[in-house]
Amino acid sequence: MPTPEDDDYWRTYHVTPRYLAGSLGADDDPSLQPFVDLDWPHHHIDDDLGKDVFVSPDGRLRIGFFGDDYILWHIAAYEDPFGPRRWAATFNQNTPPEIVTAFTTAVARDYQQGNDRFLAPLAMRWDEQTRPLTEAGWTRDWGAEIGTVEIIAPDKQAGILLDLRCQDPEDEQCLLWSGPPGWGTRAEATFTTRTPAHLVTATAAAMADPAPVIRYEPSIPRGLRDLVQLTPVEPPPPAKPTPLDVRRTAVTQAVERAFRSASTSPPAVAARARTTLPSPAHSADSPAPQAPQPAVHPNSARPELRR
């Protein structure tokens, strides 16, 4: 089995279905980015869990990421920042953050539009609320308890449960789930009774999205690895050179050829020989240099010849 020191350990894969891909590390989690983009006040609580809390400027929306807790994400909305909450949504630690991001993006968009749509539930029938799932081939479980509606994925590993009997604002009326039961495998998202229906629909659409998500294999919970399809992420092919790139390469190669040709021409070789060869040293067998002879002036007296 590869270890963190091996390259294969860090190989990335496309994972389908995405609702079984598991969570990500906090550093890679994109779910809070919509509120970072809005520049909302951010509070980091440095306790054992490492909580991060975003609050809208008017205090009517609060989003919490609770570190290593079981329920990682808490989102709550208030008509009055000092009054009771209107609705709440939670996502546990096994929920793929790509699905959470669909919900947080819709909430941030509603708030930015300034029409309080994030507070007013739409008059939407349950079959309209679950339409992204049924259009993706999910089907109703007719064996569900009376007063509830459950829509199940074709692989039986995900579903949505709506309790139409709920009336209390604090009741968890809707549950989106995926994975086998168990602390390390079951992903759950809950929505209280007055959660706007279009926000639930946006989350359901992200669940049914057939597009894969990217994971390291070790990051997928062991209980889910046999239930997903892994396709290695291949590096992209090299970019096709542009006409400008081709011209630049041709010019560079021409300059290099000209330089090599000039460097190997006979005049260049001879010039290097004259300037770089060392002067020969005098050997022991070489004749000693002659002492200079005094010059004879033409007008000097000549010795007389002896008779």
Q: What's the pLDDT at 273?
A: 58
- 10-residue averages of pLDDT along the chain (307 residues): 58 94 76 93 78 93 84 93 95 94 96 92 80 96 93 97 92 95 94 94 96 90 92 78 76 73 59 55 51 49 42
CB contact set of 246 (below 8 Å; sequence gap of 6+): none
Q: What's the pLDDT at 301?
A: 43
Q: What's the pLDDT at 270?
A: 57
Q: What's the pLDDT at 28?
A: 67
Kindly tell me the sign of the dihedral angle through the C-alpha atoms of 201, 205, 208, 214: negative
The pTM (predicted TM-score) of the whole model is 0.74
Torsion angle, alpha carbons of 198, 64, 153, 211, to 10: 90
Q: What's the pLDDT at 256?
A: 74
- Structural domain spans, the chain: 8-232
Q: What's the pLDDT at 302?
A: 42
